[in-house]
Structure 1
């Protein structure tokens, strides 16, 4: 049975969220009729949403079918370069503009997320919330828009770097350092801490991919 009818304009966000949380993974085929039934909307907004997602390179063609896109090595490297610079800028601006309440929320997030270091899926969701909070604390709407696009594309990676052995605990320590710099209004320190955090995440993902290739070879 389909879900309660959703406003037609929600079709794009419904599919996007399903990709983001891993309901649909890279390589999965998306069928209009199946999506319309799943989300309780008509096929027209589903079709429009799929076209929009294809334009954004989140979906790609496989013959006549649309599938969730995947990133090759070069695309992943390019994405991390952009992410590192934009996230660093967000941290710098957060150190400059975040109000006391926003800093308190970031601190509370780090404390709460420490309990998730052995649950990569839950920690990955918490990690997205943490980074989003920094984006918002930058108080720059255009930067937030660009980072939203970057993070949507990150969903095309089949695994999270937080699944690597010991990475969760290390990442939480890095988050703590980022928040300390923001609390201290240390703009260059916050930028460097977040850039370093992204660099370590990228190296971890490269190591994961190398191990996966070795196993499959």
Structure 2
């Protein structure tokens, strides 16, 4: 089934049991009942092309996503039409949690490269929080990590020179890429143009 912007919802290519991200050291092993829940929580995979909008600021989304492959960036549109990049999303990152918990999205997300996203129904979040405290803790940890990254980005914008900001961005992306196994024996291809 094709979506707008060339996106397509595909039948599952990966079961949660065989997810290529699971063996990475950045991710903990699921308990058996957690894996069963997550496998039912996942509704499919969404293929997204470079330049496609995944989530739109001001909209409500029935879904949240985990990046299986590819890169994206989160941004806000400013009143003068410029956009402020807030952060980058890489494999393993959760996209759309803010909108799932607070209603409207306060930012947009655009694909920097072709992406494959695991698609989850936000309606199942209350069940996750009620019945799977380990998974609920994981989501809280992800939100806290995101807050820390945003603090660093704010510091970068406010206190660093242009050269220091560029150096920080390269170091930040390199560290994140290493955590999710993107910088093995081959160079990391960073799909950023500016």
Q: Is TM more than 0.5 here? A: no
Structure ranking higher in helix proportion: 1
Structure ranking higher in strand proportion: 2
What TM-score does the superposition give when structure 2 sets the normalisation length?
0.31
